[in-house]
């Protein structure tokens, strides 16, 4: 089974130890490369942006496991140079897919308009672009948000949950069309169990590397990020996002990917 995951801290509680499992070919890559791997069937499954589920037919997702939040998640932030109501241009993190759509959804819901989105080349720093605001995701966003003197920001996942009452699913394990992973989904539940046990270790490693308070990193991994959702809750959250994104022309409205049960290993 060929599996891909993101190179960010937020992925470690879900993919812990998969690189050592017999029969799994595992690699880490930026989200855009993982999506390409799914679309070309170079990967059987990958931890990718949830919007991808609704952009191509044939995908399925591993049930109950996700990178999600029920409020503020500081690794996805819209940093502001002007007040939010005056934002007309947004420089996008080149790695952002789901988060860019989420920002569009929330600003449209709040102000009835859509800002101009400025796409940047791979590897570019959105904070250096000429725009009213910049969207940053992943470890870079977390470091900026936790650093002293952080710029003002808008947190789109907090806005989503406040408005809809649902969690927001940033990413999940997506299976490529026709990928034969049905009998191995328990591997993902086992990886999550390993990651749950390593929460403190992961937080301390990140704090040392980034020179940030360990408590803040632990709070991020253990409280802000939600990695386990009920099956019905996950489906409702994903499909509410699909409907809102489709209304803005950002995905297909008629795609309803099936969930793959995670098996008995989680129990």
Superfamily of domain 2-70+168-266, CATH level 4: Periplasmic binding protein-like II (3.40.190.10)
pLDDT at 122: 86
In the prediction, which pLDDT does 123 show? 87
Q: Would the CATH topology of 2-70+168-266 be identical to that of 76-164?
A: yes
CATH architecture classification, 76-164 = 3-Layer(aba) Sandwich (3.40)
Q: How far apart are CA 76 and CA 139, in angstroms?
A: 9
Amino acid 169: pLDDT: 98
* pTM (two decimals): 0.94
Judge contact between 97 and 52, C-beta under 8 A: yes
Domain edges within the chain:
2-70+168-266, 76-164
| Residue carrying structure tokens 């880490």 | 28
Look at residue 96 in the predicted model and tell me its pLDDT. Answer: 86
| Each residue's pLDDT expressed in tens, for the chain with a length of 267 residues | 999 999 988 999 999 999 999 999 999 998 889 999 999 999 999 999 999 999 999 999 999 999 999 999 999 999 999 999 999 999 999 988 899 999 999 999 999 999 999 999 988 999 999 999 999 998 899 989 988 899 999 999 999 999 999 999 999 999 999 999 999 999 999 999 999 999 999 999 989 988 888 998 999 999 999 999 999 999 999 999 999 999 999 999 999 999 999 864 443
- pLDDT computed for residue 210 by the predictor: 84
pLDDT of residue 68: 98
pLDDT of amino acid 88: 98
């Amino acid at each position: 089974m060929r599996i891909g995951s993101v190179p960010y801290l937020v992925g470690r509680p879900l993919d812990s130890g998969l690189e050592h499992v017999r029969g799994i070919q595992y690699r880490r890559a930026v989200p855009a490369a993982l999506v390409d791997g799914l679309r070309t069937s170079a990967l059987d499954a990958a931890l990718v942006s949830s919007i991808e589920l609704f952009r191509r037919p044939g995908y399925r997702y591993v049930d109950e496991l996700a990178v999600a939040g029920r409020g503020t998640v500081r690794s996805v932030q819209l940093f502001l140079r002007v007040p939010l109501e005056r934002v007309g241009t947004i420089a996008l993190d080149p790695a952002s897919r789901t988060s860019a759509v989420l920002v569009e959804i929330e600003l449209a819901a709040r102000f009835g308009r859509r800002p101009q989105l400025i796409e940047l080349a791979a590897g570019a720093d959105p904070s250096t672009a000429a725009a009213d605001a910049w969207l940053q995701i992943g470890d870079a966003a977390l470091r900026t948000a936790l650093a002293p003197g952080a710029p003002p920001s808008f947190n789109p996942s907090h806005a989503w949950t406040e408005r809809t009452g649902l969690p927001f699913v940033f990413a999940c394990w997506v299976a490529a069309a026709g990928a034969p992973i049905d009998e191995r989904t328990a591997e993902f539940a086992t990886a999550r169990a390993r990651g749950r046990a390593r929460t403190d270790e992961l937080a301390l490693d990140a704090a040392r590397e980034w020179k940030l308070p360990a408590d803040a990193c632990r709070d991020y991994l253990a409280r802000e990020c939600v990695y386990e959702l009920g099956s019905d809750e996950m489906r409702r959250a994903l499909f509410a996002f699909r409907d809102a994104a489709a209304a803005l022309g950002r995905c297909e409205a008629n795609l309803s990917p099936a969930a793959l049960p995670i098996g008995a290993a989680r129990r």
